[in-house]
Structure 1
Amino acid sequence: MKKRISLAIFTVLSATALFGCSSSESTSGDSGDKIKISYYSSTSDQEAKDAITKITENFEKDNPDVDVEVTFGGQGYENNMKVKMAANDLPDAFDTHGWAQNRYGKYLADLKDEEWASKLTDTMKPILTDDNGKVYALPLNEAKDGITYNVDILEKYGIEAPKTFDELMAAAEKIKKESKGEVLPFYFSGIDSSSIGQFFDYFATPLLISADKNYADDLLNDKFDWNNWTYLPKKFKEMFDKGYMNEDVLTAKYSDMPKLFAEGKIAFIMNGPQSVLQSKEMNPDINIGYMPVPSIVEGDEAAFSGGERFTMAVWKDSKHLEETKEYVAYFAKPENLKLMAEASGLPAGIKDIDADLGELTKYYEQYESNRVFPYFDRVYIPNGMWDVLCTQGQELLAGSVTPKQFSKNMKKEVERLKSQQK
């Protein structure tokens, strides 16, 4: 079957009929009298989109009585899924994008009897399996998010991959000084503010969670003193004031980052290596390095933020439950999980998948024993706080709030959102 990939413009009002959003992309076929099932993916990575499309086309060839509509939601994914949940009218299969249990759990079929379910990696098993043994989703890959860096820049200035936050700041100072401002230590975007939110989500874990003495219980039991948060906005503001990031951060586009990284003008990216795959296409000679998030508390070790990246869960009320499970099982084939891992530059979330991650393989092997902690915002602060991290970070750099006010606003917003969700 030939597939047509088309661009469509959707609104939230139309989300009850479709799954799209502004500038969403979908793949669809001429279904005729075939069984129709749908898959809604949150990915905006072109390589991952291509892999999902290819696997789906192969599934349709092997299952000629089934037609699959694949939709890529992009930035509007989360809002459209909220509309779909409110209407209890979900896609047959969809990406849980980090919220398999906490947000989508009650809508999902149990996949524990699927052949692949017993092969979840040790880090993915507790995320996608509950105490009763229910398996919520198939992981198409596994997020081990850290910091991506330009190997050539670090070698040029005699810098080893930083293990602590202080070492990271020292590296930034050296790069700024010795490059005479030609190389940015860090790049952030105020327009695509998720890069700002990522800084706070990354470093909240080494500041508050990963050390032996930590605040995990206080955060979970509403006893946390938010004055202990102030370290992060204080340091982020210092990074801006000292010229460690792009001066135009509030108006900069994140889409400009791959080109700048490819040109050797950025040293560190607060994101996983999939964020610079486009840079490698622009400049095949660039050497990409990868490391876990540096520690902050003395005696602690660098660790990854991790969990779900791309997944496939099944709506329990799907009219074509068995066909949808077969579709998910098709993605679970080793060759397909290998393709997804290689397309996203991330390890597979199922054991014994021999994926070639190119130059990144040595880094995953080097840091294989480093711990992986769940994303801070998915465990310790309520749904809705991601936007607060992003907007407060913007206001901090704009001078609208101080680091202490940032912390006060965090406390206020956490309390507000928790009260709404009771």
Structure 2
Amino acid sequence: MSLERSTEGARSLGRRNFLRASGALAAAGALSACGSNTGRSGGSGGGGTSLSQWYHQYGEAGTQQAALRYAKAYTKADVSVQWIPGDYPSKLASGLVSSSGPDVFEFHPDVQMAKSGQIVPLDDVIADVKSDFSDKDLTANSVDGKVYGIRMIDDPQFLYYRKSLLEKAGVEPPKTFDELIEASHKLSKGGTKGIYLGLKAGSDAWASPLIWASGGELLTPDHKVAFDTPATVAALKKMRELYSSKTLLLGAPTDWFDPSAFTQGLTAMQWCGLWAMPGIQKALGADFGIVPLPAVGSAGKQVVYNGGWSTYVSAKAKDVDAAKAFVKWLWIEQTKYQEDWSLSYGFHVPPRKSLAAKATKLQSGTAAEAVKLFGTDGHYDDPYWTQAMVTISQDMFTNAVVSGKNPESEVAKARTRVEAELKKIV
């Protein structure tokens, strides 16, 4: 991931309502905050064509240098790389409605960007290799039968646990939420808490996955509210039970997407992504394992949330065709860069089937187990679950779990708010 990978997996990465109206002053402020590095020297390549490519600030060492290296290697345009720290979604929202925004950028599937004409279809870009991408990755980036984004990396997320601490406490890796709560109690000893879900107590990491783990869905296949069920209410109550148990680590130097709290012994279990596995291996050796988010309730199922990032072309690009040509070059033709991006800076699953099949770093040990769990329990973003809905679900989680408000009322309020958002796009 980046070490800012979302949350709600990749999506929670500080997400706000992505299409919130932004004035010119906000746009200017966002742009002034962006770190700018040009991939090429001198700006003389590409016959005068210039492109701006935006990334959020990845946390893994070497990622920015890799992005610059890829851009510099492109000879048909001068590609400048904007490396954006902080609240990337808000800065991107401002950039996309300004005259100085990105030509090419990374983000997560969102139907509003397509419906509002902020991005252009990429069917012609992906056509020759479309069958090399998984159906789920294609569906996540498709609206009304058109492909708008090309998946760059898949980022499955898991519950990491310290084998030695579980063995000492006589605890098995949890498969159900009741087992998770019990394990968290037994593992919370001395200066070590049972579990860490981030600085927001899991609201930005588990708001959607908790619903899936209860056996539910966010939306129906025809884009109607599906999460307003007794199972969701019961899941929120279980999460409140965990939150109230005093076994949840609520303060740490870094957030859930960074494994430091886990590797430094502040917690026995932590929700984090596959991207962190090399660092965890370096710190702990073989003393760790992974499980999906445990099932909640009798109809529940284990969940591996897939975060990740996709690349898009702005409809406001100075030269849309040139931007699409660059995307095709980097994310379709340059398989060596795609493999480098997925496997050299933390672990990520390459979205291309052909690359995933030869990803030797993911074919043994816990990494191989992660890929297997991803295949059986993986859950992907729904492009109709927009940025505003992400915020609504996180509010529902926070109010019911952290603030202790009535979960039935919070689910009902969330339904009303989501239905209002759906009317804008369906």
Gaps of 5+ in 2: 1-21
Q: Is the 8 A contact 1:39 1:91 kept in 2?
A: yes
The one-letter code matched in structure 2 to 1:330 is L
Q: Judging changes above 3 Å, is the alpha-carbon distance between structure 1 residues 360 and 21 closer, same or farther for their aligned structure 2 residues? A: farther
Q: Is the 8 A contact 2:108 2:309 kept in 1?
A: yes
Distance in 2 between residues matched to 1:382 and 1:403, nearest whole Å: 22
Aligned to 1:150: 162
Q: Judging changes above 3 Å, is the alpha-carbon distance between structure 1 residues 420 and 366 closer, same or farther for their aligned structure 2 residues? A: closer
Aligned to 1:232: 235
Q: Judging changes above 3 Å, is the alpha-carbon distance between structure 1 residues 366 and 97 closer, same or farther for their aligned structure 2 residues? A: closer
Cα offset, 1:52, TM superposition? 5.2
Distance in 1 between residues matched to 2:292 and 2:270, nearest whole Å: 12
Distance in 2 between residues matched to 1:72 and 1:104, nearest whole Å: 24
Q: Is the 8 A contact 2:276 2:347 kept in 1?
A: no
Q: Judging changes above 3 Å, is the alpha-carbon distance between structure 1 residues 419 and 367 closer, same or farther for their aligned structure 2 residues? A: closer
Aligned to 2:9: none
Distance in 2 between residues matched to 1:368 and 1:414, nearest whole Å: 28
Distance in 1 between residues matched to 2:254 and 2:417, nearest whole Å: 27
Aligned to 1:26: 36
| Correspondent of 1:76 among 65, 87, 105 | 87
The one-letter code matched in structure 2 to 1:183 is T
Q: Judging changes above 3 Å, is the alpha-carbon distance between structure 1 residues 382 and 255 closer, same or farther for their aligned structure 2 residues? A: closer
Instruction: Give the number of aligned pairs.
Output: 391
Runs of 4+ in 1 over 6 A off after TM superposition: none
Distance in 2 between residues matched to 1:94 and 1:116, nearest whole Å: 21
Q: Judging changes above 3 Å, is the alpha-carbon distance between structure 1 residues 174 and 160 closer, same or farther for their aligned structure 2 residues? A: same
Aligned to 1:200: 207
Q: Is the 8 A contact 2:197 2:205 kept in 1?
A: no
Aligned to 1:409: 413
Q: Is the 8 A contact 1:273 1:290 kept in 2?
A: no
Q: Is the 8 A contact 1:150 1:289 kept in 2?
A: yes
CA RMSD in angstroms comes to 3.6
| Correspondent of 1:118 among 131, 134, 141 | 131
Cα offset, 1:317, TM superposition? 4.8
Q: Is the 8 A contact 1:12 1:80 kept in 2?
A: no
| Correspondent of 1:242 among 229, 242, 245 | 245
Aligned to 1:185: 194
Aligned to 1:291: 291
Cα offset, 1:395, TM superposition? 4.4
The one-letter code matched in structure 1 to 2:138 is K
Q: Judging changes above 3 Å, is the alpha-carbon distance between structure 1 residues 365 and 310 closer, same or farther for their aligned structure 2 residues? A: closer
Q: Judging changes above 3 Å, is the alpha-carbon distance between structure 1 residues 21 and 202 closer, same or farther for their aligned structure 2 residues? A: farther
Cα offset, 1:26, TM superposition? 3.1
Q: Judging changes above 3 Å, is the alpha-carbon distance between structure 1 residues 287 and 323 closer, same or farther for their aligned structure 2 residues? A: farther
Q: Is the 8 A contact 1:226 1:410 kept in 2?
A: no
Secondary structure at the residue paired with 2:147?
A: coil
* Larger deviation, residues 358-367 vs 12-21: 12-21
Cα offset, 1:296, TM superposition? 2.4
Secondary structure at the residue paired with 2:391?
A: helix
Aligned to 2:176: 164
Scaled by the length of structure 1, the TM-score of the pair is 0.77
Secondary structure at the residue paired with 1:401?
A: coil
Distance in 2 between residues matched to 1:398 and 1:368, nearest whole Å: 29
Alignment of 1:2-401 (within 5 A): 13=24, 16=27, 20=31, 22=33, 24-28=34-38, 30-34=41-45, 35-47=49-61, 50-51=62-63, 53-61=65-73, 63=75, 66-87=77-98, 90-99=101-110, 101-104=111-114, 106=117, 107-114=119-126, 115-130=128-143, 132=145, 134-176=146-188, 180-190=189-199, 193=200, 195-209=202-216, 216-217=219-220, 220-222=223-225, 225=228, 228-246=231-249, 248-249=250-251, 254=255, 258-275=259-276, 283=283, 285=285, 287-298=287-298, 301-306=301-306, 309-328=308-327, 329-332=329-332, 333-342=334-343, 343-353=345-355, 354-355=358-359, 356-357=361-362, 359-367=365-373, 369-375=375-381, 379=384, 383-396=387-400, 399=403, 401=405
Cα offset, 1:45, TM superposition? 2.5
Aligned to 1:7: none
The one-letter code matched in structure 2 to 1:245 is L
* Larger deviation, residues 292-301 vs 139-148: 292-301
Q: Is the 8 A contact 1:199 1:270 kept in 2?
A: no
Scaled by the length of structure 2, the TM-score of the pair is 0.76
Q: Judging changes above 3 Å, is the alpha-carbon distance between structure 1 residues 149 and 74 closer, same or farther for their aligned structure 2 residues? A: farther
Gaps of 5+ in 1: 1-10
Cα deviations across residues 353-372 of structure 1 (Å, max 9, x unaligned)?
Answer: 12324754221344254142
